[in-house]
């Protein structure tokens, strides 16, 4: 029922008022101030589910962005994909629709902002300082 879905979406948005809301064409995500992430809507490509490898009590999510069938977050507090001996430091993690490679981001850290389009993803990051 459409009215029931609208009521559920409204409740999710109210809960997110003190955090961040990312709204896409078919799914949305709310990042709460305590760094918990809730997504809802279409999930045919897994875009509205936080992957198991990111479900950690030490997880810190800095930003969420949603695109056309995919979701990206800036994350710390989980094992790094860049250097497996370290903890992630504001790395980019994406999931869902990966057509055109949009959910396969390059291995970069110190990401400050991410934005998603229908066929691409972009991130701003601080380049590493030379030794």
CA contacts within 13 A on the Cβ side of 98: 9
Residue with tokens 């490679």: 101
Question: For 65-75, what is each residue's pLDDT tens digit?
Answer: 999 999 999 99
In the chain, at which residue ranges do the beta strands (DSSP E only) sit?
A: 20-23, 27-31, 37-41, 60-66, 70-76, 91-96, 111-116, 121-125
Determine the pLDDT at residue 56: 85
Query: Quick one: pLDDT at residue 102?
Result: 84
Predicted local confidence at residue 10, as pLDDT: 62
pTM equals: 0.80
In the predicted model, residues of the chain with pLDDT beneath 50 are: none
C-alpha dist (Å) from residue 34 to 16, 57, 58, 86: 10, 11, 11, 23
What's the rounded Cα separation, in Å, for the pair 96 and 102?
Answer: 9
Report the residue count for the chain. 131
pLDDT at 83: 82
């Amino acid at each position: 029922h459409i009215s029931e879905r609208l009521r559920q979406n409204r409740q999710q948005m109210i809960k997110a008022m003190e955090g961040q809301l990312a709204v896409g064409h078919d799914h949305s995500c709310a990042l709460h101030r305590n760094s918990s992430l809730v997504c809802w809507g279409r999930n045919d490509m897994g875009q509205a589910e936080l992957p198991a490898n990111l479900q950690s009590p030490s997880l810190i999510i800095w930003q969420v962005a949603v695109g056309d069938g995919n979701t990206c977050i800036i994350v710390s507090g989980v094992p790094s994909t860049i250097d497996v001996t370290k903890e992630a430091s504001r790395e980019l993690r994406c999931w869902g629709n990966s057509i055109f490679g949009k959910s396969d981001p390059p291995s970069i850290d110190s990401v400050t902002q991410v934005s998603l389009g229908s066929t691409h993803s972009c991130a701003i990051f601080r380049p590493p300082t030379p030794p």
